[in-house]
Amino acid sequence: MDAIKHYTQAPLPFIGQKRRFLTDFKTILNQCIADDGDGWTIVDVFGGSGLLAHTAKCSKPQAHIIYNDFDGYAIRLQNIKYTNHLRKIIFDLTQHVPRNHKLPENVKNQVQAALKSFDGFVDIHSVASWLLFSGQQPTDFHDLIFNHTYFNNVRLSDYPSADSYLNGVEVVSKPYHKLLPEFQNNSKVLLVLDPPYVCTAQGAYHKAGYFGMVEFLKLMRLVRPPFIFFSSTRSEFLDYLDLVIGYKLDGWERFAGYRKINVQVCLNKNAHYEDNLVYKF
């Protein structure tokens, strides 16, 4: 396997990547999986940006790493050259506008025309990070063009090549309910689960709104140790686990004795929440 550059954040913008947990994630892998991971399979079930799969491969290079790319992130990586070309075009159109300021209508019209006429792959999520208010995510190209106010947050430099980011990682694209049964009876398969948080906005995901309470309950019937599960106080995951364990509901043994690591996240002076990493080996 070719050498892998160790990334501490995803090469292209992605809301929800687990940068704050990477140190803890690597510590757990090293504590619970011996040596270089030979004989193990690690499945990043809701792969997102691939950062967890990438980190797992760097930490356990002999393990079989499966990245379930359900959001098309690998395609975005393959088209960085187009994204950089488009960035340069939009940068040239907006560079006279002060940073973080709303684009004047005539400039916005020029940017829209450039997006419509661009002859290549358009990474709408990268474009959104340059033009939309922080955290806003378009649902599709039409939404990006017609339904948002634009600001000048255009990246000042090109994205570097990410050719080695997924080196040695198997990329698949499957619904979780088809992927997980493939590994139900193998004790040397670690499930890494970072699903959309139930009862929170899911606009950044490929199928926004697809992961409601019923989907969550279906998922939990397929989860068994060893697992690493990411959640947040913005959902009720820990309350759910305590309910299942406390009342000894069906399958409670799979979660009894879980461990938790939490990280405080501050969005601004008035908004904060707690991200959680729950694991059991």
DSSP string for residues in 160-187: PP-TTTTTTEEEE---HHHHGGGGTT-T
The total of other beta-carbon atoms located within 10 Å of residue 75's CB is 12
pLDDT at 267: 58
Q: How many whole angstroms separate alpha carbon 50 and alpha carbon 67? A: 6
Q: How many whole angstroms separate alpha carbon 73 and alpha carbon 83? A: 13
| Stated pTM of the model | 0.92
pLDDT at 40: 98
Q: How many whole angstroms separate alpha carbon 170 and alpha carbon 54? A: 11
pLDDT at 134: 80
Q: Identify the bridge partners of residue 190 per DSSP, sorted by sequence position.
A: 42
Q: How many helices (H) and strands (E) does the chain have?
A: 10, 7
Structure tokens at 277: 């990493």
Q: Identify the bridge partners of residue 275 per DSSP, sorted by sequence position.
A: 232, 263
Strand order in the sheet with 64-68: 169-172, 64-68, 41-44, 189-193, 227-232, 271-280, 259-268
Question: Omega into 226 within 30° of 0, i.e. cis?
Answer: yes
> Looking at this protein, which amino acid is placed at residue 102?
K
159, HSE (Cβ side, Cα atoms, 13 Å): 26
Structure tokens at 145: 């063009």
pLDDT at 211: 79
Q: How many whole angstroms separate alpha carbon 47 and alpha carbon 216? A: 16
pLDDT at 244: 98
Q: How many whole angstroms separate alpha carbon 89 and alpha carbon 116? A: 12
The interaxial angle of helices 51-59 and 22-32, nearest 10 deg, is 40
Q: How many whole angstroms separate alpha carbon 228 and alpha carbon 193? A: 6
Judged by DSSP in three states, 232 sits in: strand
Q: What is the largest CA-CA distance in the chain?
A: 63
Q: How many whole angstroms separate alpha carbon 228 and alpha carbon 186? A: 16
Q: Which of 136, 122, 113, 139 is nearest to 84 (CA)?
A: 122
pLDDT at 266: 64
> Could you list the pLDDT tens digit for every one of the 281 residues in the chain?
455 689 999 999 998 878 889 999 999 999 999 999 999 999 999 999 999 999 999 999 999 999 999 889 999 999 999 999 999 999 999 999 999 999 999 999 999 999 999 999 999 999 999 999 987 889 999 999 999 999 999 999 999 999 999 999 999 999 999 999 999 989 999 999 999 876 444 444 454 555 788 999 999 999 999 999 999 766 789 999 999 999 999 999 999 999 999 987 665 566 667 889 999 99
